[in-house]
Amino acid sequence: MGFNKSLLLAIVSLSSLFLSTHANIGALSPSQSQIPTIDTNILNLASNLIRRTFKASPEILEFCKGTENPTLCSETIAPHIQGPFDPIKALEVEMKATLNQSLKVTEFISDALANPNTDKRARGALSICKSQYKSIKGTIKEALELLEQQNVVDAYYKFSSVLSDQSTCEDAFAESPGVTIPFAEDSIGVLDLGGNCLAIMDGMVTSRVHSLLV
């Protein structure tokens, strides 16, 4: 019940924030150069509100401590874990977040390839990235199926190729003269989230092996 109230409060507050800001935009008719600043402020305020509404528990903070990006890890997981902490559920949340981020990149790549105005020099790299992100999507889905079976070991080895595929995509742009990767920030998101997942699973597998040896 407390979770539902918190969620409702966040939604209502964010709605009020967006309505208020858009009303101000209409009244002031700002120049185009002002609009990105306003949009950035909205996103920052929304992010801060969500952070306060879904504060990470000590268990989540401890769970994320050894990851590549502990802050991102805890902020990703906290809204989805209410009640007793379940490490498998927390890992599932982080893996699904990685999948969603990869789908975002996939959509960008598809749109860029379909756009006739896309720089011809970038098309080769985009095609490579399209193939790599198709692989990433399939890999994460298979790893999630293994996780549903509580098979963390095989999920770990399956998931390990995600970062390799992400790196191959970035390398394709690095090796293309005159072009830069147009979705650099989103690509870093895949790297950070995927790195978090691998660090979590590595810890689980190591703990499992240690318990068998003791």
Q: Residue 12: its pLDDT value, please?
A: 42
Co-location of 137 and 67 in the same domain: yes
Q: Which residues of 160-175 are buried (b: 16+ CB within 10 A; e: fewer)?
A: bbbbebbebbbebbee
pLDDT in tens, 4-59: 444 444 444 444 443 443 443 333 333 333 333 334 454 445 445 445 556 889 99
If asked whether residues 105 and 192 sit together in one domain, one would say yes
Distance (Å, rounded) from C-alpha 202 to C-alpha 3?
A: 31
Backbone angles phi, psi at 185, to 5 degrees: -65, -40
| 174 in the same domain as 81 | yes
What is the tens place of the pLDDT at every residue in 62-99? Answer: 999 999 999 999 999 999 998 899 999 999 999 999 99
Instruction: For residues 187 and 169, give the distance between their C-alpha atoms in angstroms, rounded to a whole number.
Output: 9
Domain count, the chain: 2
Examine the domain organization and report whether 94 and 164 are in the same domain. Answer: yes
Q: Are residues 103 and 185 in the same domain?
A: yes
The span from the CA of 166 to the CA of 187, in Å, is 7
Distance CA(95)–CA(77), nearest Å, equals: 10
Of the candidates 36, 53, 70, which is a domain's last residue?
A: 53
Beta strands in the chain (DSSP E): none
Q: Is residue 195 pLDDT above 50, yes or no?
A: yes
**Does 65 lie in the same domain as 85?**
yes
pLDDT at 207: 81
Half-sphere exposure of 129 (CA within 13 A, CB side): 34
Query: Cα(96)–Cα(80) distance, rounded to whole angstroms?
Result: 11
Range of the domain at 66: 57-213
Give CA–CA dist 30/38, Å, rounded.
10
Same domain, 63 and 26: no
Q: Are 25 and 35 in contact (CB under 8 A)?
A: yes
62 and 163 inside one domain: yes
**How many residues appear in the chain?**
214
Question: Mutual orientation of helices 70-77 and 87-114 as an angle, nearest 10°?
Answer: 100
- The structure tokens listed for 142 are 């298979």
CB 74 within 8 A of CB 56: yes
Confidence (pTM)? 0.75
Asked whether the predicted pLDDT for residue 149 surpasses 80, the reply is yes
Kind plus residue range of the DSSP H or E element containing 25: helix 2-28
Together in a domain, 90 and 15 = no
The fraction of the chain above a pLDDT of 70, given in percent, is 72
Percent pLDDT > 90 in the chain is: 68
For tokens 């600043």, what's the residue? Answer: 37
Residue that wins the pLDDT comparison between 42 and 126: 126
Q: Which of 33, 53, 73 marks a domain boundary?
A: 53
CATH number at residue 209: 1.20.140.40
Residues 6+ apart with CB under 8 A from 132: 165, 166, 168, 169
**Are 44 and 130 in a shared domain?**
no
Do 185 and 125 reside in the same domain of the chain? yes
**Pairwise CA distance, residues 89 & 87, whole Å:** 5
Q: Are residues 22 and 105 in the same domain?
A: no
